[in-house]
A and B are shown apart, each in its own frame.
Chain A
Amino acid sequence: MTSTFLPDKRTGPGAGAPPPAADRPTGRTRRRALHWLTAAGFQLPALVLFLGLVLLPMLFALYAAFFRWGGFGMPSDYIGGENFTRLFQDDVFLGDLWRCLVLVVLSLAFQLPFALAMAVLLNQRMRGRAVYRMLFFAPYVLSEAITGILFGMIFAPDDGFADQVLGRIGLDGLGGEWFADPSTVMATVFLVMTWKYFGFHMMLYLAGLQAVPRELTEAALIDGASAWQRFRNVTLPLLAPTLRISVFLAVIGSIQLFDLVWVTTAGGPDHHSETMAVTMFQYGFKRYQVGYASAISVVMFGISLVFALAYQRFVLRRDLEGATTTMRGDGK
């Protein structure tokens, strides 16, 4: 379907805008108008759904963020930017921002390198390679809620699997209160996140590694490059586009983290594992301060948007060259 439109769209110099009708009142214009009509007809249902279920609610949340509103009826108590000033004076929300940053840094410093190491390892010829790949990817298939319940039981103080096992092998000192201790809760949450998501990043890297031509590594080998040099100077640069995408996904994932935290700790103890999404949920659906919750969601959206645009503009630029996301197709 699309292939019939794309050449059309790109032929004329004024691509995008329909040509002036007075120019050539030929069959071609009529045919083109028909094409546009057909395209519009096919797009309409999706467009209506997108507008009604995505765009309008988003704009409404932006609107509601300027009101003191309990979530029922229409917002009427306009308070200007008060929700936002309150937000940036709220210790819990400032803490959310800090914890978000901590998670991003931890993900980039530990989770992704670990996933990369596993991918390189499992790219070797070895017995049972497929089994290992499947095992490491399996946690990703599990829902976040199930993961949360599972680890809530594993990390239950004393009675949980983790403390029991550590106790049996004489490492009681390493056990503790996990989710229940303000000083260890973030590390525990990160541990569970890594368990759940490293397999996904590993799969991305494995796919990327498949695309690295063997001739290049062989040539480097003949030139006398060590294993580390072959990895550092041949494999890694060729894997860079995959790495950039995986970093992007990890950062966005950290910004929007909700399910896992909600199920394991509900943000506690005493807000020590709360994320922006959890705070938003608390205010929106527990306290019914929907205006304030909307302000939180607007800030979350803003952070995601700024990051996504900046990342695409400065980091993904080369990878996206010629892709459809650039405007007007000239991609600078």
Chain B
Amino acid sequence: MGDPALSRRGFLAASAATGLGMTALTACGGDSDGGASGTTTIEWWNISTTEPSKTVWAALARKFEAQNPKVKVKIVQLENDAYKSKMTALTASGKLPDIFHTWGGGVLKQQVDAGLVENLTDRTKPWGDALLPVAREPYLFDDQAYGIPFDIGMIGFWYNKALFQKAGIAGPPTTWDGFLDAVRKLKAAKVTPLALAGKEKWPGMYYWAYLAMRTAGAEALQKAYDDRDFTGTPFVEAGEHLKELVALQPFQKGFLGAAYSSPTGQAAAVGNGKAAMELMGQWAPTVQADAGKGLGKDLGFFPFPAVEGGKGAIAEVFGGGGGHALRRGAPQEAVDFLKFFASEATDLELVKKTGVLPVVPAAESAIADPNIKAVQAQLKAATGFQLYLDQAYAPAVGQEVNDSVAALIAGSKSPGQVAQSITKTAKEEQ
């Protein structure tokens, strides 16, 4: 049994020690030995720790080395969360690896502002500009490119065509009113319209973020964050629209305690045909099949509907992907590697073997799944873009959005209070 007070102290200690530990981590930076003669070693930090990406990426590095005999690629792979903490420490120390994984947005902007990231605008001409515009978006600041994407995705509604037919819904709704009608029809047909993982909060946030994009326009979420002000009328309206949906009681029983990918969670509810729709990213079909049975041919995709009278359009997307950035002063070999990684041949391999969406337009032909094709078509035609809020905003603000929207869905906060809570946290952060 031991002394319970001791574990109590251990817990306290851990909370403070993490801070100390992270400070200590800053000591080890990413140095590259720019060998004047002979070979150059470039360090490549990525988060592909799972198969098949892990093997495919390592093989690509070897292929690059074979094509460039004087270059060695040293791969450092870290798990997602560990990578985030380590990068925060490295940013504080001012030394970044030659090539590193980035999601773009606020975090990359911080590193750019600190003068740690190479401006790639001129060094990646013309091949960099030819990549899918929406995929490049997260890495552009003042029209200057600081990163090169290798993946892109977006959030939208995944729905069960058979259940839609059963409820007599003609086709995917394109307006919010139409969407609410579809929800009512599904309810009338005794079908649970939507699955939601209330325990995890972030899936609920997607509704509010998309509604805010539709009422206030695609640029508004970033602008509100920069101005530390979310109290504008369109944001409150976004909350009102979400409240309209919640009032219809569209979610599965016990959604407030449901997880996302567990066997009793959101993805499984849709994958097992128990709920008709979920608002989720391009990874949804995989998780549905993994946590539940999967819908196969019955699965369809449609973009988040437009809100009547809102400034946003249905063609504006909420999403994100992955990319690579270079430390300031990285050798030319690192740029060569980015070019190699963004080539048609590499992208085809990535799309076929690791299931990412293509960023090189010519690699589109490699997509076999019709739903992923629909996502790709939507991304290609995107007229506006908002990056995932947890990458675009500081962690505390992103969490407050999740928390406040969860409270709105649970009925304990009003749309106005949601806007105020987020504004308050955003102001505290600066």
Contacts and interface: CB of A to CB of B under 8 A. Distances in A.
A53 interface: yes
Interface string A152-163: 110011111000
A61 B199 contact: no
A269 B257 contact: yes
Contacts of B22: 71-72
Contacts of B71: none
A193 interface: no
A300 B419 CA distance: 31
Contacts of A282: 399
A287 interface: yes
Interface in A279-299: 280, 282, 284-290, 293-294, 297
B254 A180 contact: yes
Contacts of B254: 156-158, 177-181
Nearest to A288: B395
Contact of A73 (B9, B92, B255, B256): B92
B410 A258 contact: no
Nearest to B200: A266
Interface in B188-221: 198-201
Contacts of B10: 54
A132 to B, nearest CB: 21
A113 B238 CA distance: 51
Interface string B16-48: 111110110010000000000000000000000
B265 to A, nearest CB: 9
B264 A160 contact: yes
Contacts of A287: 395-396, 399-400
Nearest to B394: A288
B8 interface: yes
Looking at A153, A253, A269, which has the most chain B CB atoms within 10 Å of its CB? A269
A270 B15 contact: no
B19 A177 contact: no
B256 A61 contact: no
Interface in A210-260: 249, 252-253, 255-256, 258
B247 interface: no
A289 B199 contact: no
A57 interface: yes
B89 A57 contact: no
B19 A181 contact: no
Given A72-B88, A282-B399, A287-B395, A180 B15 contact: no
Contacts of B399: 282, 286-287
Nearest to B268: A159
B89 A54 contact: no
A284 B11 CA distance: 12
A256 B7 contact: yes
B8 A252 contact: yes
A180 B92 contact: no
B15 A280 contact: yes
A268 B15 contact: no
Interface in B367-414: 394-396, 399-400, 406-407, 410, 412
A124 to B, nearest CB: 26
A244 to B, nearest CB: 15
B: interface residue count bin: 35 or more
A272 to B, nearest CB: 9
Given A156-B264, A177-B254, A297 B410 contact: no
Contact of A256 (B4, B16, B259): B4
Given A73-B92, A253-B4, A304-B8, A180 B198 contact: yes
A297 B12 contact: yes
Contacts of A265: 199, 257
A200 interface: yes
Contacts of A277: 11
A301 B12 contact: yes
Nearest to B410: A270
A153 B262 CA distance: 10
Contacts of B198: 180, 268-269
A306 to B, nearest CB: 13
A60 B20 contact: yes
A177 B257 contact: yes
B257 A270 contact: no
A116 interface: no
Interface in B254-274: 254-259, 262-264
A74 interface: yes
Contacts of B170: none
B1 interface: yes
B13 interface: yes
B70 interface: no
A139 interface: no
A200 B14 CA distance: 27
A289 B8 CA distance: 21
B166 interface: no
8 contacts: A53-B13, A54-B13, A58-B13, A61-B13, A64-B16, A71-B18, A265-B257, A297-B15
Interface of B: 1, 4-5, 7-20, 22-23, 26, 88-89, 92, 198-201, 253-259, 262-264, 394-396, 399-400, 406-407, 410, 412
The 3 closest A-B pairs by CB, nearest first: A180-B257, A157-B254, A269-B256
Interface of A: 53-54, 57-58, 60-61, 64, 69, 71-74, 152-153, 156-160, 177-182, 185, 200, 249, 252-253, 255-256, 258, 265-266, 268-271, 277, 280, 282, 284-290, 293-294, 297, 300-301, 304, 308
